[in-house]
Amino acid sequence: MDLGDTETLSEPLLIDRDARGVLTLTLNRPRRYNALSDDLLAALTRAIQRIAADQTARVVVLAAKGAAFSAGHDLHEMMARHEAADHRYLFERCSAVMLGLQALPVPVIAKVQGIATAAGCQLVASCDLAIAAASARFAVSGINLGLFCSTPSVALARAMPRKPALEMLMTGEMIDANEAERRFLINHAVADDALDAAVEALVVRILEKPRVALEIGKKQFYRQIELGTAAAYEVASEAMACNMGDHAARDGIAQFLANRSSRAR
């Protein structure tokens, strides 16, 4: 399927692309609260691979249909598996999706409505940016079932301060969008009827920036946060040196200097 097409409603993932290169991936299992089934994980994997190779893509918006953003893993499918190897394969596939979103060369924005729980909350935390409707709710609630959300904890620990992340993981508590913003799980909580406009405004701000600068910057950002300070500066210095070789950066700096010189006269 061409990325420019919109998939049929029977598909677990809908893909839409506009003329600006903005791709919207919409989780489409509303009756199952957009649980991350085998089919949905496979569809996300395929979409991520194709977007990664698309030099004209500019922004990805991850959205969902129905009352939930995502309730996490499909528990029916999980319970149908009995071997540890089967469970390990499932969690590895899900982790690969999360890493794939992070590795995309363009910004990924989570557009959150309804609940985002367990691996659904992990999905939000794995996106570069996130905007949620005020009525959205978030939890890593596996602990309430006797299953600590260990794989979601990886994303939460990198998106939030440690103690708020551990409080969510250890209590399974549900928090609202305003609290999620205070804990840095999301960037902004907005009125439900303002969600579309808020996401679009963020998309427009990103589209104003050169794609190559965003690609270089995103890649080095995720590399350096895993390193010690000295190694992080090495990665960042190399990224900036590469960025300076791009014509958009040189043109932008030259224009800034020309404008400043003009104002000084």
User: pLDDT tens digits, residue range 3-41?
Assistant: 444 444 479 999 999 999 999 999 999 999 999 999 999
Region of 184 on the Ramachandran plot (φ > 0 left; ψ -120 to 50 alpha; else beta): left
Neighbours of 17 (CB within 10 A): 18
The DSSP symbol for 35 reads -
| Two structure tokens written together for 41 | 């994980």
CB 218 within 8 A of CB 105: yes
Higher local confidence (pLDDT), 145 or 27? 27
Higher local confidence (pLDDT), 263 or 165? 165
pTM: 0.86
Quote the pLDDT of residue 235.
Answer: 76
Helix or strand or coil: residue 10?
A: coil
Domains recognised in the chain with CATH numbers: 13-207 (3.90.226.10), 211-264 (1.10.12.10)
CA atoms of 203 and 54, how far apart (whole Å): 18
User: pLDDT tens digits, residue range 106-122?
Assistant: 999 999 999 999 999 99
Query: Strand pairing of 59-64 and 13-17?
Result: unpaired
Quote the pLDDT of residue 5.
Answer: 43
Residue 60's H or E segment, with its range, is strand 59-64
